[in-house]
Amino acid sequence: MGNSKWECIWENRIGDPILIDDKTLLQMANDVRANAYCPYSKFPVGAALLCSDGTVFTGVNVENASYGLTMCAERVAIFKAVSEGHHDFVKLAVTCEGDHCQPCGACRQVIHEHAPDIEILMGNPQGTFVRTTIRDLLPEAFSL
């Protein structure tokens, strides 16, 4: 397993390298934004979660009239992955309009619980992004 600023190379279960670079992961997150259900905020968010075996799960925000039942894109991607038996997450890209898209507090806690060492790419449709980690975003997370 190796990595650089521009790409990450992971090996799948049979040892074949899988190349998913940051721009591709961000583009996947941005592309899926078109599927967001956001009639109240009009603020589509997309996420793409890279697993250690090279599998990518995407998610979008899904709003609800009661607001509290709204689900963020980051949690949708994580819950999809977990429901399919994946638990080894290495990178999460999240995109929305604006400077760069930051996970909310609830997402930060869920991300930390499932992947305390994950790298996060916070981007926008223009292709710019900020690289950080969940530990930097939530330095004193709840944990067991």
Residues known to be catalytic: 74
Q: How far is CA 76 from the centre of its chain?
A: 9
Q: If you count them, how many residues does the chain have?
A: 144
Q: Contact at 8 Å (CB) between 107 and 76?
A: no
Q: Contact at 8 Å (CB) between 86 and 118?
A: no
Phi-psi region of 137 (alpha: psi -120 to 50; beta: other; left: phi over 0): alpha
Taking the C-alpha atoms of residue 138 and residue 41, their distance in angstroms, rounded to an integer, is 25
User: What type of residue is 36?
Assistant: A
